[in-house]
């Protein structure tokens, strides 16, 4: 899978949220509507299986986490070329839905940020933290 890093990063992040909330795989599976198999969720967490935006939305609801937070995390961690490949392979609706979580100005800034290299993003991190106080 050439987009392995994207799905691995997504799965690792979602697993860390689940662990932080002290939830088992079964707990999360039961909150999916409809319920999904534990083995399927495990493959998502391990980054083995691709996940649609619709499934990501359900996963976020099951964990009671903000989708925007998850998307921001993945954009920050994953190389722009990899994200672009994912959008090329999937329908344009996925790309539009990805940015639909943001208002117009946020979406414009996220698109600019997504076009930066991982190294450029890392260089910006301390500046952004100092500006936001986080």
SS3 breakdown of the chain: % helix, strand, coil, rounded to 5? Answer: 75, 0, 25
CATH no. of 4-132: 1.10.260.40
Q: How far apart are CA 56 and CA 44, in angstroms?
A: 10
Rounded to an integer, what distance in angstroms lies between the CA atom of residue 20 and that of residue 64?
Answer: 12
Per-residue pLDDT tens over the stretch 106-125 = 777 777 777 777 788 778 77
Tens digits of residue pLDDT in 66-84: 887 887 787 777 665 566 5
- Whole-model pTM? 0.63
User: Which H or E run contains 28?
Assistant: helix 25-31
The residues spanned by each domain of the chain are 4-132
pLDDT at res. 93: 47
């Amino acid at each position: 899978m050439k987009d392995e890093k994207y799905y691995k990063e997504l799965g690792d992040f979602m697993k860390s949220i689940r662990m932080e909330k002290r939830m088992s795989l079964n707990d999360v599976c039961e909150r999916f509507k409809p319920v999904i198999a534990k083995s399927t969720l495990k493959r998502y967490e391990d980054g083995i299986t691709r996940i649609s935006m619709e499934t990501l939305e359900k996963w976020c609801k099951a964990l009671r986490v903000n989708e925007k937070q998850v998307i921001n995390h993945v954009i920050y961690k994953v190389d722009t070329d990899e994200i672009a490949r994912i959008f090329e392979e999937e329908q344009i609706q996925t790309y539009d839905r990805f940015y639909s979580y943001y208002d117009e100005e946020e979406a414009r800034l996220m698109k600019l940020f997504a076009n930066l290299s991982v190294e450029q993003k890392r260089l910006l991190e301390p500046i952004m933290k100092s500006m936001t106080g986080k």
